Structure 1
Amino acid sequence: MQQTPPSASGRRILIVEDEFIISDTIADQLREQNYIVTGEAISYDEAVELYHKSPPDLALLDIRLSGPESGIDFAHFLRAQKEQIPFVYLTSQVDEQHLALARETFPAGYLSKPVQINSLLTTIDVALHNHQSQQQEETVAVKTGQATHILPLSAIRHLRADHVYVQVSLVDQKPLVLRRSLSDLVSEINHFSIVQTHRSHAVNLQHVTRYEHRTVYIDDDAVPISDKYRDQVLSRL
Structure 2
Amino acid sequence: MQIHRILIAVPQTAVAKLLRSHLQQWGYRIIEIATSRREAEELYKITQPHLTLIDLSDEHPEEGVAFARFVRSQKNVSPFIFLSYTPDRRLIELIKETLPAGFVSKPVNAQLLHASIVLALHKHAAQQPTGPALTLTRGDDTQIIPLKKILYLEADHIYVQVHTAEGKRILQRRSLTDLMDQLPAGDFVQTHRSFAVNIRLLSRWDNKFVYVGEHAVPLSRSRRKEVLAVLSGVAGSA
- Please give the TM-score of this superposition, normalised by the length of structure 2: 0.64
Task: State which of 216, 219, 225 in structure 1 corresponds to 2:189.
Answer: 219
SS across alignment from 1:118: helix
Aligned to 2:104, the other structure's residue is in SS state strand
Alpha-carbon RMSD: 3.5
Q: CA deviation at 1:10?
A: 2.3
1:44-193 paired onto structure 2 within 5 Å: 44-64=37-57, 70-136=63-129, 140=136, 142-143=138-139, 151-154=143-146, 158=153, 160=155, 162=157, 166-172=159-165, 176=169, 182=173
Q: Which has the higher contact order (CA 8 A, sep 6+)?
A: 1
Structure 1 unaligned segments of length 5 or more: list them: 1-6, 183-195, 211-216, 225-237
In structure 1, C-alpha distance between the alignment counterparts of 2:20 and 2:70, rounded to whole Å = 22
8 A Cα contact 2:128 2:144, kept in partner: no
Q: Which runs of 5+ in 2 are unaligned?
A: 195-238
Give 2:185's aligned residue: 209
* Cα separation, 1, equivalents of 2:39 and 2:63: 12
Q: Secondary structure at the match of 1:45?
A: helix
Number of matched pairs: 188
How far apart, CA to CA, are the structure 2 residues paired with 1:10 and 1:177? 36
Task: Quote the sequence identity (%).
Answer: 28
**For residue 189 of structure 1, what is the aligned residue in structure 2?**
none
How far apart are the structure 1 equivalents of 2:8 and 2:25? Answer: 15
Q: Is the 8 A contact 1:14 1:58 kept in 2?
A: yes
Kindly indicate whether the alpha-carbon contact (under 8 Å) linking 2:3 and 2:29 is maintained by their aligned counterparts in 1. Answer: yes
Contact 1:22 1:114 in 2 (8 A): no
